[in-house]
Structure 1
Amino acid sequence: MSSSVIGSVTLPAPAGAATPYIERGTPDFLRISIALFCAGIATFTLLYCVQPMLPVFSRDFGISAAQASLAISLPSIALAFGTLVASALSESFGRKPLMVGSVFASAGLTFVSALAPNWEVFLLLRTLQGLALAGLPAAAIAYLAEEVHPRSIGLATGLYISGNALGGMAGRVGAGVLTEFVSWHVALAGMGLLGLLTAVVFVMALRQSRHFKPRELRLGSLVQGFVTHLREPGLRMLFIAGVLMMGGFVTMYNYIGYRLMSPEIGLSPGLAGMVYSVYLVGIVASASIGSLADRLGRARIFWMNIVVILVGLGLSLLPSVFGAVAGLALLTLGFFGAHAIANAWVGRRALQAKAQAASLYLFACYGGSGVLGTVGGWVLSGWGWAGVVGLIATCMVAALALGLRLSRLKPLAQPVG
C-alpha cells in the first residue's frame, strides 16, 4: 500500500510495538471514552436540538411540516457533503485539531442562529452549522480505528454513539421543555451553551494521536480511496444500510412531535419534548450492543436490531401516548444498536483509507436523513401518520435484507488482531 494514498493507515502489530494500541480497562481507554462521549453529546445536541421546535416553527413562521423539517434536513445534507472533505483534511492536518475546530465553530453558530431575524437567515446559519459539524464525526471514527485495539473497538465506538444518544436526548428534551416557558430563541441559545461546555471537556480529555501519520493531500488519491471503498461489497451494503436506517430514524423523530401534539393525543410542546427522553435507551444500547458484537460477532447481532425497530413502528400506530412512547423507545434501541455495530464494522472492513470509509458511511447516514426527513413531511401531509410509518418500515425492511446478506460475507483479513 503506497504511503501517498489519502487516508491509508498502516497499523503495526501490537506485540512489541513501540506504541501499543489502547485496550479497555486502561486509563487511556477511559480518557478516550470520556472525550468521544462528550464529542457525541456536542454533535447530536447541536444538530438535533431544533427537532422538538418544528411544530413551533410551523406556527410562528406559517410554514408546513415539510418546510419546517428543512431546519434538520439542510444541516444534515451539508454535514453529509462536509464529511467527504473533512476526512481528507483530517488525513493532512490531524484528527484532534479538526475535531476541536469543528465542535467550537458549530457551538458558536448555534448562538448566532438564535438571533436569526427570519426563516431564510435561520436556514442559512443552520446549513453553515452542519458544515462546521462535519469535521467531528468524520475524524472521530478514524481516530478510534487508529488508536484502539480491535478487541476493544466495539465498546469504544459504542460509547461514542452513546454520547450521540445522550446529546440527542439532552438537545431534544431540553429544547422541548425550554420552549414551553421561553421563546425558541432563548432555548436555542441554551443548547449552544451546552454544546460549548461539552466541547471544553472534550478538548481537555482527548489525547493526541499516537498512530496518526499525515498524508499529502492529493485529489487523485482521494478519489481513488473513495472508489476503492465503493467497490467493496460489504462496505457498499453498509453505506446503503446507513441511508435507510438513519433516514428512517430521523423521519420518525422529525414528525413524532406533530403526532403527539395532534388532537388525537393532544400533548403540549413541553410534554411532547419529554418523550424524547427515550433516548436514554439508545445510550445503554450503543455501548452494550457494541460490546456484545465484539464477543459474538457483528454479523450475528446487526440484523436483530432492525427487527426491534420494525416492532417499534407497529406500536407507534396505536393512538395513545403509550403506543408513541413504546414505539419510539424500541426504534431508538434498535437504531443505536445497529448504528454502533455498523460504525465499527466500517472501520474494520476498510483495510486502508479508514477516514474516507468513515466519511462515506456518515455521508450516507446524514444524506439519507436529510432527504428522507423532508420526504416524510410530504407523506405526513398526504397520508398522515400511517403513511410516515409505512415509509420508515419500507426503509427498515430493505435494511434488514442488507443485514442478512452482510451476515453471509466472510471477514476481510486485517493487519491487526
Structure 2
Amino acid sequence: MAQSRNRRIGVAVLAAGLATFALLYAPQPVLPLLSAEYHLGPAAVSYAVSAATITLALAVLPMAALSEVVGRRPMMLGSVFAAVLIGLLLPLAPDFASLIALRAVQGVAVAGLPAVAMAYMAEEIGVSGLGAVMGLYVAGNTTGGMSGRLLAGVVGDVADWRYGLLAVAVLAALCAVAMAVLMPSSRAQVRQPMRLGSLFAGMRGATRDSGLYGPYAVAFLGMASTVAVYNVISFRLIAEPFLLTPGIAAMVFLGYLFGGAASATAGRLADRVGRPLVLLAALGVAVVGTLMTLPDNLFAVLPGIALLSAGFFAAHAVASSWIGARAVPESRAQASGVYLLAYYLGSSFGASVGGWAYGAGGWTPVALVNCGWLALAGLVVFRGRAAGRSVRRSEPAPASPATAR
C-alpha cells in the first residue's frame, strides 16, 4: 500500500516538474522570432525569459511560508494550474508589454511548486524512499525544461511563436491533470499559523554560515552563465556563418541531456572525494566548454555547449546536496530557499547581461563574461572549502529542491 502510494507521488511530482519547467523556459528558443516581430534587440527581448525567473525568485520564500498555512498539496496544485492558465493566455498577448506582464505573473505562479515540493515529498515518504522519488522530480524538471524549449522551438519555426507557446501550454495542461489525479492528499503535514520569529531565525542561520556561500555562488553565477549562453545561442546559430533555421537551432537544447547524466555522476563522486574538489572540477569543465564555443565551427560549438551543460549541472547537483548536508536542521528549509533565490536571480541576471553582451559585441563577449562568472564562483568555493570540510561525509544529504533546469 505504502509502495503504491509512493509511486503515485513520484509520478505526480514528475508530471508537476515537467509542466512547470516546460512553461518557465518555453520562450527561450523563440526569442529570435519575438525579436523579429517586435523589432527588439537580444537584450530587450530576453525579458520574455527573465520576467518570469525574477518573479519566481522573489516569490519562492513567501510561497514556502504560505504553504505552512494552506497546505503543500493545495499550494502545488494551485501553482501548476495557474501557470498553465497563464501559458494558454500568452499566445493571445496583443503586444510585447502584455507578454512580459503575463510572464511576470506566471513566474509567481510557478514558484509554488519548487518552494514546497521537497517538503511535501520528505513529509509523505520519509528518508528511506526519498531518493528514488526525488530522482523522478529532478527528471521531471530536466525533461520539462528541455522538452518545453524543443517543442516551442520546432513548432514556432514551422508555424509561429504563438503556436509554439500554445503547444507547450497544452503539454503542461495534460501533465497538470495527471498530477491532480495521482497526487495523494497530505497525511503528515500539520498546518499551522505563520511564525515570523522562527522564519527569521532560520534565515539568519542560512545567511551567516560562510560554509554555504560557495553553493550560493554556484547557484547564482553558474546559472547566470548557462542561461546567458542558451538565451543567445539561437541568435548566433541562425546568423552567418551557420544560417540554421530556428527549428534546427533549437536542437542545441539537447545539450541538457549531458547535464542530466553528469549530475548523477558528480553526486556519487562527491561522496567519495568531497564536494569542494568536485565542484571546482565541474566549474573547470564548464569553462572549457565555454571556450570551445568561440570558433565559428559547429563541430566545436556543439560539443562546447554539451560540456558547459555537463559542467554546470554537475556543479549544481553537488552544490544542492551541500546545502542539505551543511545547513543545520532549523535552517535547512531557509537555506534551500536562499539557494533557489540565488539560482533564479542568476537566471534573470544572466538572461539580461547575456543579451546585452551579444547585442554589443557578438558571441565573444558573452563567452568571456561567462568564463569570468564561472571563475568567480570557483574562487568562492575555493575560499570556503575549509568550512565545507566540516560537513560530515557520513551524514545523509537530502537533495535540495533547487533542481529546476
Aligned CA distance change for structure 1 residues 126 and 367 (closer, same or farther; 3 Å): same
- Percent of aligned pairs with the same amino acid: 39
Distance (Å, rounded) in 1 between the aligned partners of 2:45 and 2:308: 23
Aligned residues: 393
The equivalent of 1:177 in structure 2 is: 154
Q: Which of residues 382, 385, 394 in structure 1 aligns to 2:372?
A: 394
Q: Which of residues 314, 317, 324 in structure 1 aligns to 2:301?
A: 324
1:258 Cα deviation from its structure 2 partner: 0.9
- Residue 350 of structure 2 corresponds to residue 368 of structure 1: no
1:185 Cα deviation from its structure 2 partner: 1.1
Distance (Å, rounded) in 2 between the aligned partners of 1:406 and 1:152: 32
Q: Is the 8 A contact 1:244 1:396 kept in 2?
A: yes
1:239 Cα deviation from its structure 2 partner: 1.9
TM-score between the two structures when normalised by the length of structure 1: 0.86
Aligned CA distance change for structure 1 residues 196 and 144 (closer, same or farther; 3 Å): same
1:356 Cα deviation from its structure 2 partner: 2.5
Distance (Å, rounded) in 1 between the aligned partners of 2:124 and 2:215: 23
Aligned to 1:134, the other structure's residue is in SS state helix
The equivalent of 1:17 in structure 2 is: none
Deviations 1:80-136 (A, max 9, x none): 001021111122222222111111110110100110010111110010000100010
Distance (Å, rounded) in 1 between the aligned partners of 2:141 and 2:195: 32
The equivalent of 1:75 in structure 2 is: 52
The equivalent of 1:4 in structure 2 is: none
Q: Which of residues 343, 360, 363 in structure 2 aligns to 1:385?
A: 363
1:231 Cα deviation from its structure 2 partner: 1.0
Q: Is the 8 A contact 1:141 1:358 kept in 2?
A: no
The equivalent of 2:257 in structure 1 is: 280
Deviates more, 1:32-41 or 1:202-211: 202-211
Aligned to 2:362, the other structure's residue is in SS state helix
Distance (Å, rounded) in 2 between the aligned partners of 1:179 and 1:28: 39
1:176 Cα deviation from its structure 2 partner: 0.8
Q: Is the 8 A contact 1:152 1:294 kept in 2?
A: no
Aligned CA distance change for structure 1 residues 415 and 343 (closer, same or farther; 3 Å): closer
- Residue 374 of structure 2 corresponds to residue 411 of structure 1: no
Aligned CA distance change for structure 1 residues 148 and 231 (closer, same or farther; 3 Å): farther
Q: Is the 8 A contact 1:299 1:403 kept in 2?
A: yes
1:296 Cα deviation from its structure 2 partner: 5.8
Aligned CA distance change for structure 1 residues 324 and 313 (closer, same or farther; 3 Å): same
- Residue 234 of structure 2 corresponds to residue 254 of structure 1: no
Q: Which of residues 319, 326, 330 in structure 2 aligns to 1:352?
A: 330
TM-score between the two structures when normalised by the length of structure 2: 0.89
Distance (Å, rounded) in 1 between the aligned partners of 2:324 and 2:73: 18
Q: Is the 8 A contact 2:218 2:315 kept in 1?
A: no
Distance (Å, rounded) in 2 between the aligned partners of 1:240 and 1:83: 18
Deviates more, 1:64-73 or 1:369-378: 369-378
The equivalent of 1:200 in structure 2 is: 177
Deviations 1:157-179 (A, max 9, x none): 45433322211111111111101
Q: Is the 8 A contact 2:82 2:109 kept in 1?
A: yes
Aligned CA distance change for structure 1 residues 278 and 372 (closer, same or farther; 3 Å): closer
Aligned CA distance change for structure 1 residues 313 and 137 (closer, same or farther; 3 Å): same
Deviates more, 1:150-159 or 1:231-240: 150-159
Aligned to 1:214, the other structure's residue is in SS state coil
Distance (Å, rounded) in 2 between the aligned partners of 1:391 and 1:144: 38
1:300 Cα deviation from its structure 2 partner: 4.7
Q: Is the 8 A contact 2:321 2:397 kept in 1?
A: no
Deviates more, 1:107-116 or 1:141-150: 141-150
The equivalent of 1:101 in structure 2 is: 78
Distance (Å, rounded) in 2 between the aligned partners of 1:103 and 1:403: 35
In structure 1, runs of 5+ residues without a counterpart are 1-21
The equivalent of 1:223 in structure 2 is: 200
Distance (Å, rounded) in 1 between the aligned partners of 2:4 and 2:314: 26
1:149 Cα deviation from its structure 2 partner: 5.5
Q: Is the 8 A contact 1:261 1:269 kept in 2?
A: yes
Distance (Å, rounded) in 1 between the aligned partners of 2:252 and 2:243: 13
Aligned CA distance change for structure 1 residues 304 and 162 (closer, same or farther; 3 Å): farther
Deviates more, 1:362-371 or 1:292-301: 292-301
Aligned to 2:330, the other structure's residue is in SS state coil
One-letter amino acid of the structure 2 residue matched with residue 411 of structure 1 = V
1:414 Cα deviation from its structure 2 partner: 6.8
1:55 Cα deviation from its structure 2 partner: 0.8
Deviations 1:286-325 (A, max 9, x none): 3444455456654453332212211211111121222221
1:57 Cα deviation from its structure 2 partner: 0.8
The equivalent of 2:401 in structure 1 is: none
One-letter amino acid of the structure 1 residue matched with residue 332 of structure 2 = K
Q: Is the 8 A contact 1:162 1:287 kept in 2?
A: no
Choose between structure 1 and 2: higher helix proportion.
Answer: 2
Q: Is the 8 A contact 1:316 1:325 kept in 2?
A: yes
Distance (Å, rounded) in 1 between the aligned partners of 2:220 and 2:210: 16
Q: Is the 8 A contact 1:141 1:355 kept in 2?
A: no
Q: Is the 8 A contact 1:91 1:355 kept in 2?
A: no
Q: CA RMSD in A?
A: 2.6
Once the two structures are superposed, the pairs formed by residues 15-54 of structure 1 within 5 Å of their partners are 30-54=7-31
Once the two structures are superposed, the pairs formed by residues 55-74 of structure 1 within 5 Å of their partners are 55-74=32-51
